[in-house]
Structure 1
Amino acid sequence: MSRFLDLLLTSAAESPRGMTTGEPREPVRRTWAEVHAVARRMAADLAGNGLTPGTSVAVLAGEPALIAPAAQGIWLAGGSVTMLHQPTPRTDLAEWAADTVKVLDMIGAGLVLLGPPFDPLADVLTERGITVRPIAELGEGIAEGPALPDVPHSEDDIALLQLTSGSTAEPKAVRITHRNLYANLTAMVQASELRVDRDVMVSWLPLFHDMGMVGFMTVPMAVGLELVTVTPADFLGRPLLWADLISRYGGTVTAAPNFAYAVLGRQLGRAEDGSLDLSTLRFALNGAEPIDPDAVASFTDAGARFGLRAECVVAAYGMAETALGVSFAPIETGLRVDIIDAEALEAEKRAVPASGDRPARRFPLLGPPLPGLSARVVGEDGRVLGDREVGGIQLRGEAVTPGYLTVDGPLATQDADGWLDTGDQGYLADGIVVVCGRLKDVIIMGGRNIYPTDIERAAGEVDGVRAGNAVAVRLDAGSGVGASKRESFLVAVESRRAGDAEAESLIRKEVTAKVFSAIGARPARVEVLAPGSLPKTPSGKLRRAATKDLLDSRPE
């Protein structure tokens, strides 16, 4: 049996802790032993109905109460779990179904387990020859306490096939083995100093994303932590619910992408004095997208009157290719920022500490690599770079995936020495990881390396621009919309004032001014779009390449 499953079974047998779901309407708590009892029946059902070891099972559901035992049941039966991207109210179901069929073919899934609120999609899938079973019916008629399926579980078996956040038209799945999962989850437990007997995790994160599925479902289920979990729709419908759950349940551990802390900060600013108690929160991980120090400050400042300590914020770096975590900042230190000379960064690719009145850039310090992971920075010529030299970040360790599944077949991720190229550009500062941006997104102008996040943050400061909905798009020299003889960039922002010619003109001028003030360069063009126009991944990240395609199709 793999170390991951052995850990999971031990927690099921020994831990009195469990998960609470159904907030805020009908909260229900089940111990991990109760979850495991349901999972055993599901595993027996799956094995009895022909699931063979190594088969991928896809899951399309939103309720954590169903997903937890289903995932565990699949693992116990020897299968791997793939959480499908979920359609939204704006999704074209025909396109979604076509993309989903492509994904299922790619991963070789023999079955889709379907649960609320996606039950109505059963016909859409079965019409395309896909075998569908309702999760709620899995295990029905199976006697209590069935024997576990007699299947081998090796360290190199696939536990998760995590779909990446890129285009669904060109899907790719990260192969996460039992070895990878065990190595990463135990490293995260160690780095975060999780206290199994006392910590309470609170989450609204989507379970089709690695931060939710691994960090706030698999980790607590495997090690026996108390978990309170709701759906993303619950959070988006009432963001203050997140803080309310931390307050009522004494939450100590939570996580979210940067935008969510900005949203919660605004909500806390309007909350009544004494209505919340956030003093128990000791570990608030910020990851999955670039961290904005101003957004973090707005969250901690607004939460201070409810007992929130700024030291609880943990800046993190992660990716599906390591199951989840890459590096965590040390706990109880809060967000620390590296302030570096902008000109040395852009012209010399060196992270020199800023001094005087020279232009500066701020990057969060993301902590050392997690236990068992090594990080290095490599130049374009393949040379391993030194401290504070900027280049491509590479990783090596037991948590690193052996490869991807793509529509064209398997794709290895590691070089001959086991190093994974992350595609991120950054540097190491005394062993601390700092990420500057995605290498493919860096804009080069006049020999300078300009990072889209600097442009996007500046554009987001303009009145009328929707928070978190500004995208900077690189234009290669002599190609694309507004082509010129050198590389340039466009900026697209969403605004509720889109369609008002006078308001759009003012926003374009102010965005141009703000961006020029921040980076010393002007965008070739600024587009003001209606809310909901910017392409996003299923997990909510803005897609720069797809935004460029959208702008290419619009008249100048």
Structure 2
Amino acid sequence: MSRFLTMLLDTATRSDRGMTTGEPGDPVRRTWPEVHATALRMAAALQAGGDGVRGLSRGAAVAVLAGEPATIAPAAQAVWLSGGSVTMLHQPTPRTDLAAWAEDTVTVLEMIDAQLILLGAPFDALAPVLTERGIAFRRLADLDADPSGLATPSADVAGEDDTALLQLTSGSTAEPKAVRITHRNLFANIGAMVEAACLDISRDVMVSWLPLFHDMGMVGFLTVPMATGLELVTVTPSDFLSRPLLWAELISKYRGTVTAAPNFAYAVLARQLARAEGTLDLSSMRFALNGAEPIDPDAVVAFTTAGARYGLSPDSVVCAYGMAETALGVSFAPCDTGLQIDHVDAEQLEKHRRAVPASYGPVRRFPKLGPPLPGIEVRVVGDDGTVLGEREVGVLQLRGESVTPGYLTVHGPQSTQDADGWLDTGDEGYLAGGTVVVCGRRKDVIIMAGRNIYPTDIERAAAGTDGVRAGNTVAVRLTAGEGRHRESFLVAVESRRAGDAEAEQLIRKDVISRVVSAVGVRPAEVVVLKPGSLPKTPSGKLRRAATRDLLAAHA
């Protein structure tokens, strides 16, 4: 039996901690042994088969389409106890074209060779769509109610190199891809994160609203507490989006100590806290991880400033670097240090690809993302394959037990590691005193007049424009050709004033002024779009390549 499953079963027999779901209306707490008991019933039903679906066996790929953490936790555990792998499907929204979603879902299921879908609330109504497409599924409610017995996990149910998770990536292309996370990867990364975050099972309380089809939610805020026995309070993304202040209210009510979210969510909560009234108490929070997208130092400061009057410590914010290819974590800033910024000379960075510390003149600011997690090696490599030194900028590569052995793609399996076990992340960055610093995605770098300009610098400048929606600015690289003599870029922003010609003109003028002031180059064009226009991944990240295609289609 794998070390991951051994840890999971150990928690199931000894823990008195558990998960609370159902907030804010009808909270219910179940201990991890109680969740495990449900998982055993589900596993027995899965192994027995039913509803025209054969019984689950070792190595089977199972997709899950459900939104409720209370249901997903025992379902995932049931699949693992049966020797299968879990794939959390991207979920349709009220605006989703169901025909297109079904087509994409069929492609994903074929890619991972899925045996069936486990279907649960609030997506039960999609059963006819699955039936019409000939997709095998079983309802989670039926599995939980099945009285056929309890599964007994065997010693050989899964080995270290068996697949535990197939994590769908949120890439910019139309073709899906799944990261293959083995039991070995999962165990190694969980242990490394527990150590780096100084997690204490006896006192820590995790609070989350993160989507479980994203690695930060599924691994960090479901699998980690379920496997280690940490206390968890969890709601759905829709609960958070409908009332962001709920996040802070749950931290206050349950004395939450650990949470996580992408940068945009902290910016949203900062605005809510700034005008909130009441008796919130955020003094218990000690580890608020910010990751999954570029970290804006201004958003972090806004969050800690707004939270200060409710007792939030500025040192509680932890800037992090992670990716599905390592199960979740790559590096965490040390606990109790707060936001640490590296100020570097803009010219040295852009022209000579060196991160030279600077305290005046044109500078670029990058959050320090901490040392690599235990068991993970990080190096920086130049264009010619040379391993670079301190503060030299190149592509970040990773190696260690946490690193995935490969992807599943529509064209077949694809290895991720070179002959020496190194994974190319596609991210540019550098090492400073053993600390990881990420500058941006390699494919998104804009090269103008011999300068390497990162889109995030442009986007942050544009985001300060009055009338532009926070978190909805994109800088798109335009390559030479097609009437252009050199590489350039355009900026797309969302605004509720889109459609008002005079307002749009003012927004364009201000965006251009701010971008020129910040990075010294002028965008070829500024496009003002209506809210909801910019393409995003299922986890909410803006898609630069898709934005380029969208704007080209409307040109």
Q: TM-score range by the shorter chain?
A: over 0.9
**Partner of residue 486, structure 1:** 486
Choose from 461, 465, 483 the match for 1:462.
Answer: 465
Choose from 368, 375, 379 the match for 1:376.
Answer: 379
Choose from 247, 257, 261 the match for 1:256.
Answer: 261
Following the alignment from structure 2 to structure 1, what is the Cα–Cα distance between the partners of residues 303 and 209?
Answer: 17
Alignment of 1:544 onto 2:553: no
Q: Deviations over 1:438-489 (max 9, x none)?
A: 000000000000000000001100000000000000000113xxx4100000
Q: What is the 5 A alignment of 1:203-222? A: 203-222=208-227
Cα distance, 1:144 vs structure 2: 5.7
Cα distance, 1:149 vs structure 2: 5.6
Following the alignment from structure 2 to structure 1, what is the Cα–Cα distance between the partners of residues 148 and 249?
Answer: 39
Query: Which amino acid in 1 is paired with 2:291?
Result: G
Choose from 95, 111, 117 the match for 1:112.
Answer: 117
Alignment of 1:190 onto 2:190: no
Q: What is the 5 A alignment of 1:350-361? A: 350-356=354-360, 358-361=361-364
Choose from 313, 329, 332 the match for 1:328.
Answer: 332
Q: 1:44–1:148: 8 Å Cα contact kept in structure 2?
A: no
Query: Which amino acid in 1 is paired with 2:32?
Result: W
Choose from 125, 133, 139 the match for 2:138.
Answer: 133
Following the alignment from structure 2 to structure 1, what is the Cα–Cα distance between the partners of residues 154 and 126?
Answer: 30
Provide the secondary structure at the position in 1 that maps to 2:554: coil
Cα distance, 1:403 vs structure 2: 0.2
Q: 1:312–1:334: 8 Å Cα contact kept in structure 2?
A: yes
Choose from 262, 271, 274 the match for 1:269.
Answer: 274
**Partner of residue 284, structure 2:** 280
Q: Deviations over 1:267-295 (max 9, x none)?
A: 001112x5200000000000000000000
Alignment of 1:38 onto 2:42: no
Following the alignment from structure 2 to structure 1, what is the Cα–Cα distance between the partners of residues 532 and 144?
Answer: 40
Query: Which amino acid in 2 is paired with 1:391?
Result: G
**Partner of residue 12, structure 2:** 12
Aligned pairs, number: 550
Choose from 312, 337, 341 the match for 2:345.
Answer: 341
Cα distance, 1:169 vs structure 2: 3.0
Calculate the TM-score normalised by the size of structure 1: 0.98
Query: Which amino acid in 2 is paired with 1:378?
Result: V
Q: What is the 5 A alignment of 1:137-536? A: 137-142=142-147, 145-148=150-153, 151-167=156-172, 169-272=174-277, 274-356=278-360, 358-479=361-482, 483-536=483-536
Q: 1:43–1:149: 8 Å Cα contact kept in structure 2?
A: no
Following the alignment from structure 2 to structure 1, what is the Cα–Cα distance between the partners of residues 381 and 263?
Answer: 28
Q: 1:414–1:421: 8 Å Cα contact kept in structure 2?
A: yes
Alignment of 1:56 onto 2:61: yes
Following the alignment from structure 1 to structure 2, what is the Cα–Cα distance between the partners of residues 503 and 349?
Answer: 39
Q: Deviations over 1:86-114 (max 9, x none)?
A: 11111111111000000000000010011
Following the alignment from structure 1 to structure 2, what is the Cα–Cα distance between the partners of residues 139 and 501?
Answer: 57
Cα distance, 1:150 vs structure 2: 6.9
Query: Which amino acid in 1 is paired with 2:445?
Result: V
Q: 2:88–2:167: 8 Å Cα contact kept in structure 1?
A: yes
**Partner of residue 554, structure 1:** 554
Cα distance, 1:52 vs structure 2: 1.8
Provide the secondary structure at the position in 1 that maps to 2:440: strand
Q: 1:44–1:142: 8 Å Cα contact kept in structure 2?
A: no
Q: 1:60–1:115: 8 Å Cα contact kept in structure 2?
A: yes
Runs of 4+ in 1 over 4 A off after TM superposition: 143-146
Cα distance, 1:154 vs structure 2: 0.5
Q: 1:11–1:224: 8 Å Cα contact kept in structure 2?
A: yes
Query: Which amino acid in 1 is paired with 2:20?
Result: T
Range that drifts further, 133-142 or 184-193: 133-142
**Partner of residue 52, structure 2:** none
Choose from 67, 74, 89 the match for 1:69.
Answer: 74
Following the alignment from structure 1 to structure 2, what is the Cα–Cα distance between the partners of residues 167 and 40?
Answer: 38
Cα distance, 1:151 vs structure 2: 4.9
Query: Which amino acid in 2 is paired with 1:104?
Result: L
Relative distance call for 1:232 and 1:168 in structure 2 (3 A) is farther
Cα distance, 1:148 vs structure 2: 3.0
Q: 1:43–1:139: 8 Å Cα contact kept in structure 2?
A: no
Following the alignment from structure 1 to structure 2, what is the Cα–Cα distance between the partners of residues 80 and 162?
Answer: 10
Query: Which amino acid in 2 is paired with 1:256?
Result: A
Q: 2:172–2:544: 8 Å Cα contact kept in structure 1?
A: no
Following the alignment from structure 1 to structure 2, what is the Cα–Cα distance between the partners of residues 91 and 511?
Answer: 31
Following the alignment from structure 1 to structure 2, what is the Cα–Cα distance between the partners of residues 10 and 487?
Answer: 57
Task: Give the alignment's Cα RMSD to 1 decimal.
Answer: 1.0
Range that drifts further, 45-54 or 369-378: 45-54
Following the alignment from structure 1 to structure 2, what is the Cα–Cα distance between the partners of residues 51 and 144?
Answer: 15
Q: 1:488–1:523: 8 Å Cα contact kept in structure 2?
A: yes
Cα distance, 1:145 vs structure 2: 4.4
Cα distance, 1:166 vs structure 2: 1.5
Following the alignment from structure 1 to structure 2, what is the Cα–Cα distance between the partners of residues 440 and 346?
Answer: 15
Q: 1:47–1:149: 8 Å Cα contact kept in structure 2?
A: no
Cα distance, 1:167 vs structure 2: 4.6
Q: 1:37–1:144: 8 Å Cα contact kept in structure 2?
A: no
Q: What is the 5 A alignment of 1:72-87? A: 72-87=77-92
**Partner of residue 95, structure 2:** 90
Following the alignment from structure 1 to structure 2, what is the Cα–Cα distance between the partners of residues 498 and 117?
Answer: 34
Cα distance, 1:373 vs structure 2: 0.2
Relative distance call for 1:168 and 1:59 in structure 2 (3 A) is farther
Q: Deviations over 1:205-253 (max 9, x none)?
A: 0000000000000000000000000000000000000000000000000
Structure 1: tracts of 5 or more residues without a match: none
Q: 1:426–1:434: 8 Å Cα contact kept in structure 2?
A: yes
Query: Which amino acid in 2 is paired with 1:250?
Result: R
Q: Deviations over 1:156-214 (max 9, x none)?
A: 00000000002573000000000000000110000000000110000000000000000
Following the alignment from structure 2 to structure 1, what is the Cα–Cα distance between the partners of residues 539 and 516?
Answer: 31
Following the alignment from structure 2 to structure 1, what is the Cα–Cα distance between the partners of residues 5 and 155?
Answer: 14
Cα distance, 1:429 vs structure 2: 0.2
Query: Which amino acid in 2 is paired with 1:23?
Result: E
Query: Which amino acid in 1 is paired with 2:489?
Result: F
Relative distance call for 1:168 and 1:234 in structure 2 (3 A) is farther
Cα distance, 1:128 vs structure 2: 0.8
